[in-house]
Chain A
């Protein structure tokens, strides 16, 4: 019988009718329907049973009054056995006014018989006093001793021993014997006295007989009247009473259930006390911003609300209350989340909170959108604030802490500084948050489909930064939108601040790089930097040009001999220094020092612009020199009165520094400077630039060389013009001095002064030129002598007629002249001298034959030996 149910546990093992019991054991059925029988102490309790598992059944006992087995019957296992028992008992105190969960059998406990029974019980059948018999014999043991018996005198299974043990276990044997005698007498009197009993009560017996007859008559009458439905009516009555009884039973059960419920409710209240005060505490926590507390409470409440016990209207009501608080909390948190400026740490905490609160939107996304909006708007506002401000107001609007150092700054610089600060402060937060969001590091589950949108937001932020900076710093038109336009650009003063701004932007860029953003975004900032650097390159080169062009202001005219180049002023060297220093600065700030930036010089266009700019800067020196020439005119006029007092420089000394020299001398210095620049400075600059890593600058240098050549020619022309004019100009005058007439003059006595004066003038020129540059002597002198020859030819061709003496005089003069300048006579001047001789009649014969002329010539030579030497030596040293 391994399949038969077996009950091995009973909880509790005893109780009055209606006790809830737990029956445990094995094979107690496979389901409620498999359970087809449950007897507890022989009473069928199947109706109240509740099958839980093959090991457990719950039930409520019915009217069990004895100790007995628990028999489980299942369809699958049949009739079961039990190793434990249940003892049912009636609570002695159940009476007509006492509620009982079960139907109380009045035949035992209520009605006339029990009443008589109690009376009877009081009256002991043995008539022995029970006084002093206070120590009761345990029912438990009686049950064990007489499992089938009972101590009830009226019970069918009455066991006298039970009765005696229960009531008289302390009574002495003699007393018991007396009691037995009494009982015997009583019984005897009852049996023998039947007749006497009738006799005694004859009247009442007859009364009873009458009553019975009357009753029979009534019954007969009733039957004739109502037919045989006598029983049927009783049947009905029984039905009615059964229903009423059922109702009563239900009512009683309901009352018990209600009592249970109340108890449960009280227990529940105790357990869930905290729930009822929750809305209030949550409200307080929210107000005090103790979100942790509020959320903990809420989660606890939520867990409680999920329990089945709390599925009651009262709890639902409180749950609603709590939910409204939670809603409010969510709203508060959401507002805090999008508070500006956003505080990242706080936001992370709030995100955590919101996730525990299970909000129905994506709080991280809201947060990111908030960052984006904030950053974009603040940058725009910053732009609007500074761009529309005129420079006077600007200072008042600045942050007070920075006021001192910003006072002098132009708006644009302050704007760029502020913008960079904004960007560097808030962009990283924005970036990190988004990274964490998509990296799943936030408590929020990321919505990966939003990645593209995020990227767009990021890029547009960076782009906005670029656009704003561009429109602020670069010349209008370079920004690709005209949405942002800087109102008044102080572009003049701006150029010096450009480096400053570039610094800010570079710092921002470096910060930005450290975030490791995608290439696309880096590219935007790189472009921006590139553009600004290009622009600043242009500006710097332009500045350099201006600076070079202004160099003339620094000319002091103090000169030093410089090898083959004769005397030069420090101006060319200054020029070199300026150029090289500037190139270094440009290199340092723009060409070098890039941090993953695009190198400027990789771009052909930039290279070209750079060459052009450098060319301009270099040729600006020519302009500067040219300006010196024209300025020189003014100087020379001013000093012309002192001209006579000027001392010419000695060959080994310098010009006295600080003293403006004669106009012609400075022209000569300019000439020297030009050639020195061409030959020495420009190649040096070229080399230095190559060394600095500049692209090939030969074009620029060439441009400068050409420009300087131009200046050189100009200077030279100017100089020679200045030199031969006084020499040539005086010839005619002194030739005609003293109304000299070539027709009527007497015999010549010596070389006429116009020639000697001319020669002296030429020597003066030689001296001056030699002092500055020996190299120039021949060039200058050739020019001067050619002009003199031209003038002489012109003058002689104007003489109408020579007398004999006149011709002789003229021949003498010309011969002396030719003699003196013979070293410088070349090409055209030789022709001119010959032409002049041919204008004098018979000059050739005279030169050859006239002893007088020879004599005078020798005389002249010895007289002017020194001057002559000057001319020769300067010429020969040159050659």
Chain B
């Protein structure tokens, strides 16, 4: 934290979605170009690396959260620190699509912001033959929320970079808009927190 001036701007992305939809798979594919076949439920994983976003070097911080209900209680805390959300479901599982509704609500409640950067992601698009969630349904929901909808495959890497970069752009735009008093983000935060706690 010491050489603050040279540190590129940091965008905090949070992966949300039901268990087994491929949040970790997307993250690992994005981070390390690898695809993990085995399913190992996540608790909370943290990743951070430098990427070049439209010619600008930035840092992306990815918090891969647990989809499993067992860990639902600790989500609130994590969501608070997120700047953008990739809300993932699996196109092969209707339940996971259903669950995006709850995730969306929880995020809005914690963030208190209707226009928080958010992308609805339909993963496992390589399993077209097992599709359970139609593209129309997903697009309709995205339109209703006013967010983009992208179909990805962590297995084939289709659209993996796209969802992360698209989200980072949204985050950047948001920051620029809010950037009135960008000079002291800490202060800004503190104030916000204070407000929260008082309320």
Contacts and interface: CB of A to CB of B under 8 A. Distances in A.
Contacts of A137: 197
Interface stretch (A12-20, A120-128, A537-545, A672-680): A12-20
B158 interface: no
Interface string B49-67: 1000000000100011000
Nearest to B64: A11
Contacts of A8: 31, 47-49
A330 interface: no
Contacts, number: 51
B45 A13 contact: yes
A333 interface: no
A724 B147 CA distance: 147
A818 interface: no
B159 interface: no
B193 interface: yes
Nearest to B24: A11
A169 interface: yes
A11 B23 CA distance: 13
A85 B63 CA distance: 12
Contacts of B31: 8-9, 24
A14 B77 contact: no
B133 interface: no
A15 B43 contact: yes
A13 B28 CA distance: 15
A140 B81 contact: yes
Given A24-B31, A140-B81, A11 B45 contact: yes
Given A11-B64, A12-B43, A24-B32, A140 B48 contact: no
Given A11-B64, A24-B31, A140-B81, A169 B46 contact: no
B172 to A, nearest CB: 19
B44 interface: yes
Contact of B47 (A9, A55, A138): A9
Interface string B28-46: 1001101000000011111
B81 A12 contact: no
Contact of B32 (A12, A15, A55, A169): A55
Interface string A101-140: 0000000000000000000000000000000000001101
Nearest to B71: A12
Contacts of A9: 31-32, 45-48
A10 B46 contact: yes
B77 A140 contact: yes
Interface string A803-819: 00000000000000000
A55 B193 CA distance: 38
Nearest to B31: A9
Contacts of B24: 11
Given A140-B77, A169-B197, A12 B48 contact: no
Interface string B74-86: 0001001100000
B59 A83 contact: yes
Nearest to A12: B43
A141 interface: yes
Interface string B156-199: 00000000000000000000000000000000000001000100
Interface residues of B, number: 22
A84 interface: yes
Contacts of A85: 46
Interface-central residue, B24, B46, B59, B193, by most chain A CB under 10 Å: B46
Nearest to B1: A147
A852 to B, nearest CB: 150
User: Interface centre among A12, A14, A55, by most B CB within 10 Å?
Assistant: A12
A83 B8 CA distance: 12
Interface in A1-59: 8-15, 24, 55
B22 to A, nearest CB: 15
A137 B28 CA distance: 33
Interface in A610-661: none
Contacts of B44: 12-14
A11 B42 CA distance: 8
A132 to B, nearest CB: 14
B80 A138 contact: yes
B197 A83 contact: no
A227 to B, nearest CB: 55
Nearest to A141: B193
Contacts of A14: 44
Nearest to B46: A13
A13 B80 CA distance: 17
Contacts of B47: 8-10, 24, 84
B90 to A, nearest CB: 20
A84 B59 CA distance: 11
A439 to B, nearest CB: 37
Contacts of B193: 141
A84 B48 CA distance: 6
Contacts of A15: 43
B77 A83 contact: no
B81 A84 contact: no
Contacts of B197: 137, 169
A11 to B, nearest CB: 4
A83 B45 contact: no
A69 to B, nearest CB: 11
Interface in A71-86: 83-85
Quick one: which of A11, A55, A137 has the most chain B CB within 10 A?
Answer: A11
Contacts of A13: 44-46, 63
B80 to A, nearest CB: 7
Contacts of A12: 42-45
Contacts of B81: 140
A410 B1 CA distance: 114
A423 B168 CA distance: 82
Contact of B77 (A84, A138, A147): A138
Contacts of B64: 11
Interface string A137-166: 110110000010000000000000000000
A12 B74 CA distance: 13
A672 B44 CA distance: 132
- Chain B CB count within 10 A is highest, among A8, A9, A13, A84, for A9
A364 to B, nearest CB: 38
A12 B1 CA distance: 22
Contacts of A10: 45-47
Nearest to A6: B49
Nearest to A170: B197
Interface string A186-200: 000000000000000
A307 to B, nearest CB: 13
A161 to B, nearest CB: 12
A55 B28 CA distance: 11
A83 B31 CA distance: 13
Contacts of B80: 138, 140-141
Contacts of B63: 13
A85 B48 CA distance: 10
Nearest to A83: B48
A21 to B, nearest CB: 9
A138 B31 CA distance: 29
Contacts of B28: 24
Contacts of A24: 28, 31-32, 47
Contacts of B49: 8, 83
Contacts of B34: 55
A458 B56 CA distance: 82
A10 B31 CA distance: 12
A346 B31 CA distance: 56
6 contacts: A8-B47, A9-B46, A24-B31, A83-B48, A85-B46, A147-B1
Given A8-B31, A24-B28, A140-B80, 17 more contacts: A8-B47, A9-B31, A9-B46, A9-B48, A11-B24, A12-B43, A13-B44, A13-B45, A13-B63, A14-B44, A55-B32, A83-B48, A84-B46, A84-B47, A138-B77, A138-B80, A169-B197
Interface of A: 8-15, 24, 55, 83-85, 137-138, 140-141, 147, 169
- Name the 6 nearest CB pairs between A and B, nearest first: A13-B46, A11-B45, A83-B48, A12-B43, A9-B47, A84-B46
